[in-house]
């Protein structure tokens, strides 16, 4: 899964990809740009990302053109808004799975449960609290 928390949409954007590799990151950036276009956002927006190796691949630099890119310092997940979303998703998924009747879980059934929980989290949680935490990091970058 790859996700983004934006100030121009109400809920988190979460993409489900088979891997968290360079190709998936590229697809996510294309999807994020499409969302910007859909929302008629024509100015550059901040893309605050961690230091995953896929985020530093030279061949993907052109996909960063619609963004101001800020890399988080190592071990600073407290500034990464999506980390709070992942914590909620994990908690809600654990609660949801624990309420299911005893049965053998297959990969397909588990993926369906993950999709369900993500849709519930996206419908329930507002981005504002997550964004406030990341603004602290951006403010320090701009000083």
pLDDT at 117: 80
Residues lower than pLDDT 70 in the chain: 7-11, 103-108, 126-143
pLDDT at 105: 62
pLDDT at 143: 47
Our CA dihedral for 64, 67, 73, 76, rounded to 10 degrees, sits at -120
pLDDT at 106: 63
3-state secondary structure the chain: CEEECCCCCCCCEEECCCCCCHHHHHHHHHHHHHHHHHCCCCCCEEEEECCCHHHHCHHHHHHHCCEEEEECCCCCHHHCHHHHHHHHHHHHHHHHHHHCCCCCCCHHHHHHHHHHHHHHHHHHCCCHHHHHHHHHHHHHHHC
Is the CB of residue 41 less than 8 Å from the CB of residue 75?
no
CA 19 distance to own-chain centroid: 14
Per the rule left: phi > 0, alpha: psi between -120 and 50, beta: everything else, 103 is beta
């Amino acid at each position: 899964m790859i996700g983004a928390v934006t100030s121009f949409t109400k809920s988190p954007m979460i993409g489900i990809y088979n891997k968290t590799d360079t190709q998936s990151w590229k697809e996510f950036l294309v999807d994020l740009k499409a969302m910007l276009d859909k929302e008629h956002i024509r100015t550059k927006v901040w893309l605050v990302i961690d230091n995953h190796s896929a985020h530093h691949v030279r061949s993907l630099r052109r996909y960063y053109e619609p963004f101001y890119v800020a890399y988080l310092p190592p071990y600073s997940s407290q500034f990464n808004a999506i980390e709070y979303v992942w914590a909620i998703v994990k908690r809600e998924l654990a609660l949801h799975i624990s309420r299911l009747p005893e049965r053998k879980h297959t990969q397909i059934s588990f993926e369906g449960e993950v999709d369900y929980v993500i849709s519930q989290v996206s419908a329930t949680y507002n981005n504002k609290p997550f964004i406030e935490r990341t603004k602290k990091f951006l403010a320090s970058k701009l000083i």
